Amino acid sequence: MFNISKDFAPPFKLIAPFFISGAIFYILSSLALLFFKIDFDYMQLNIAGWIHLFLLGFVMTIIFGAMAQLVPVILETGHFSVDFYYIIFPLLLIGTILMVFGFWFNPILLSFGGILVLSSMLIFATEVFLTIKKSSLKTFSTKAIKVSNIFLLIGILIGFLISLTISGFLGFDIESLIKAHIYAVVGGYIMITIMGITLILLPMFGLAHGFDEKPINKAMNIMIISIVFVIIGSFLDLKILMELGYIGSFIAVIFYLYQIYLIQKVRMRKESDIWSKSMVVAFVSLIVSAILGFFYLLSTDFRSLLYGSIWFLFIGFFAFLINGHLYKIIPFLVWFHRYSELVGKEKVPMLKDMYPKKEADFEFYFSLFGLIVAGIGLLTKEETLFKAGVSFLFIGSIFLGTSIKWMLNYGKNRS
Amino acid sequence: MAKVTKEEVYDAIRTVIDPEVGFNVVDLGLIYDVDIDDKNSVHVKMTLSTRGCPLHQMMQEWVKEAVEKIPAVKDVVVEIVWDPPWNISMASENVKKALGV
């Protein structure tokens, strides 16, 4: 018998900054979109700046905070040392800001920001590996954590080489490095981490049991091979290997979506709360992203298909998946911090009462409308539509910020 | 010494609510067995709806504390088991109805 001791749960004050900072970066990245013209190219430095603002500032910061809470749950053992997260947070925060300013204003800042981000991720991955060493579990999710952290290290090292090259310290071919960097981080770290986490969280929140796990295993194995193909292909300039990698990653996404369908089919909790609505948008967006990406592969000259695919992956899948889970994770953290000791002594609130329904709905509908309108704008190259959609997205992000503030302050006067 | 009954123990455990689902752990079907010996020592065998439940140890503590509130109880052991794995058919009709099963 094992015990997930309360001591294994990281302190509220350690995790809360990750979520607060992640939400602020989400608002800033939505705001920044208002200043972009639609005729961009993904190789532009200002676009790279936005991608880092969104992926590092929002996605990775929230994932790191969530992992501080979820690693003991997934591995069924305590952190090797949860105090590492006190160092990870400021390094990641300052590193991200320097990198974004580096891309937008002065490339020399990139290498400094890169060192800080590299350090924070090295510490994060080391802590995760040392925690894995303590666990004897061999589940899908533990394997996903291991593999994703290996890709994180590979991806961030390549990213650091890119930052040194842009800053003028090294002379690598940036274009081939960028593809390897994107695939290692987005496909290898973010996607595989999401696969591992969703296999735990979706059944937990949806009360789903007794489903087949073969599709997710196939999804991860194919994804691993695909990412290795793209990385090797981009370094050796082997186009065929890279294309095999692209096709493989689509197949992996299809298996992943099939797994989600299997979980959804046996889900017992059918209520339509903010979490379940957000999950529907997230997974439909992933389907849309995969379809657009597939058509882009068939006709490589339609850049708008590629941008549409990335839009629905980033704003549709990543953002809705993360934001939807924030309405579950933050109330749990607050409840655990402020009410768990009171169970059996006095009436304690239920988690579903610990998020603001109205603000959450506003966040959801504004963001959904923004996602669709701006997505159509990107696909049709209609600047006005894109800007209109992004405006809605920005308003949605403000509601996310107010919701998070509301949730974090719930019952504050008690402690 | 008054003998503690299973009903008393189940009633005590009914005060423990899963904060995520909003039902008590007895109606959820998470309590598999209650054994009371001649000295009123109670052994509760229970499970959780998800193996990776972050409230694992706390649930165990809450159940223990709830049973300890029965005056005649001497000591309490709460054991978490995973076999058989929990499924919704173990929940009460009220829970199933509320979940739309």
CB contact under 8 A, B22 and A269: no
Show the tokens assigned to A217: 């295993």
Chain A, residues 352-411, CB within 8 A of chain B, namely 352
Please report, for residues A27, A66, A330, the alpha-carbon distance to residue A12 in angstroms, rounded to integers and kept in the order given.
23, 12, 10
The pLDDT, as a whole number, for residue A4 is 43
Sequence-distant (6+) residues with CB within 8 A of A44 are: none
User: Could you list the pLDDT tens digit for every one of the 415 residues in chain A?
Assistant: 344 445 567 888 899 999 999 999 999 999 999 998 877 776 788 899 999 999 999 999 999 999 988 888 888 788 888 889 999 999 999 999 999 999 999 888 988 999 999 999 999 999 999 999 888 888 898 899 999 999 999 999 998 888 888 877 777 778 888 889 999 999 999 999 999 999 988 988 888 888 999 999 999 999 999 999 999 998 888 989 999 999 999 999 999 999 999 999 988 887 789 999 999 999 999 999 999 999 998 886 788 899 999 999 999 999 999 999 999 999 988 988 888 878 767 778 888 889 999 999 999 999 999 999 999 999 999 999 999 999 999 999 999 999 999 999 998 876 5
3-state SS, residue A411: coil
Mean pLDDT for back-to-back runs of 10 residues, chain B (101 residues): 88 88 89 92 90 76 91 92 86 81 66
> Which class is domain B6-99?
alpha beta
* Chain B residues closer than 8 Å to A4 by CB: 53-54, 56-57
Q: To probe the interface with B, which of A5, A8, A76, A204 has the most B CB atoms within 10 Å?
A: A204
CB contact under 8 A, A6 and B58: yes
Which value does ipTM take for this structure?
Answer: 0.74
Selected residue of B57, B63, B89, B95 to mutate for chain A interface (largest A Cβ count, 10 A)? B57
User: Are the beta carbons of B87 and A209 separated by less than 8 Å?
Assistant: yes
Residue A205 near chain B (CB below 8 Å)? yes
A105 to chain B, minimum CA–CA distance in Å?
A: 44
pLDDT at A166: 80
Would you state the structure tokens that stand for residue A354, as one six-digit string?
A: 């610990």
Tell if the CB–CB gap between B88 and A209 is shorter than 8 Å.
Answer: yes
Distance separating alpha carbons of residues A243 and A278, to the nearest angstrom: 32
